[in-house]
Chain A
Amino acid sequence: MRATDLLGLAVYDADGQLVGHVHDLRFAPPDDGGCLGYRLTALACGDRFTLGHRLGYRDDQMAGPWPMDRLFRRWAARARVVEWQDVVTVSASGIEIRRRRTDLGSALQDTR
C-alpha cells in the first residue's frame, strides 16, 4: 500500500456521517526506541479542499498574507484526527471508523 492510497479517501463515522477526507498521515517511532518501523498511528481528515493544509496553515508554518491566513486557518481548524486503532475498514470507497465525528479531536490541537 502507498500513502497515496489513503490520502484523499473519504472517512465515515459510526453513524455513517462523513467526517472528511484524509489530508495527512501521522507516524510514531517504535516502542523500543529504534529507528526503523515507524507505525501509522493517525489520519488527519478535513474538507476536500486541502490547499491550506498543504501550504502549512494548519500548524502555523505559514503566516499571512491577510486575509489568506485567516481563511485557510479557519478551514484547517475543522480538520479532525482519527486514531488508526479506531479504523474499522479501509476500501477504495472510503474508510469507516468506530467513533462518532463529535468525539474526534481537532487536528489543529494535535500538531501544536
Chain B
Amino acid sequence: MSGQNLMGKSDSSQRIVVWANRALFDRLILGADGEPAGMVDDLELTERDGQLEWTAILCGPTALGPRIGGRIGAFWYAVGRRLRPYDDPSPLRIPLEVVASVSVRDVRLRVEAQELGLTRLRDWVQDKVIDRIPGNGGAR
C-alpha cells in the first residue's frame, strides 16, 4: 500500500499521522479496473505486540449500520443482513495486502472488485431485475 498520498498531518511530535474520519472513512473504493466497488465503512483492527494495527477495510451495510448507530443504524444493519446470501452477517473484508493506494479521494485496489465479491449485489440486481425489463437494451 502506498502512503504517499495519504492525507497525513503532523501531531505534536511532528510525526505524520492519519485521522480516520478525515482520511479513511467513507472513501470510495475502486477496483484495479477502475470500477467503483463500495465505500470504506469500517476498519478492522488487530492486536499485535500490545498495540492495535489497522489490518483491513470493512464495507457494506453490516459494517456501516453499527457505525451509524441508533435506530437508523440498526435498520441499515438489518437490511444488509437480509440481503446477504448466507447467514453470516460479517461485512465484506478487504485486507490491506490487496490495497494499492489510499488517498483522500479514494482507495484503489490491486485486484478487480468482482474478485473480492464486492459487486455481488449489483450483479444480482442486474441479473434478476434489470435484465428482465423489456427494452433494457442489454445495458451492462
Residue numbers of A with Cβ under 8 A of B are: 1-4, 6-8, 23-29, 35-42, 44, 53-54, 56, 59, 61, 84, 105, 109-112
Q: Is the CB of A27 within 8 A of B21?
A: no
Main secondary structure of the interface of A (DSSP, over half): mixed
**Among A4, A28, A40, contact of B66 (Cβ-Cβ < 8 Å):** A4
Q: At the interface, yes or no: B12 with Cβ under 8 Å from chain A? A: yes
Task: Count chain B CB atoms within 10 A of each CB in A28, A54, A56 and give the residue with the most.
Answer: A28
Main secondary structure of the interface of B (DSSP, over half): strand
Q: Count contacts on B: residues with CB < 8 A to the other chain.
A: 32
CA of A27 to CA of B15 in the docked complex: distance in angstroms? 10
Q: Is the CB of A27 within 8 A of B51?
A: no
> In the complex, which residues of chain B have a beta carbon less than 8 angstroms from the beta carbon of A28?
11, 15-18
> In the complex, which residues of chain A have a beta carbon less than 8 angstroms from the beta carbon of B121?
none
Task: Count chain B CB atoms within 10 A of each CB in A37, A53, A54, A61 and give the residue with the most.
Answer: A37
Q: Is the CB of A36 within 8 A of B1?
A: yes
Binds A, one of B42-50, B110-118, B128-136: B42-50
B residues 32-68 with Cβ under 8 Å of A? 42-48, 51-54, 58, 63, 66-67
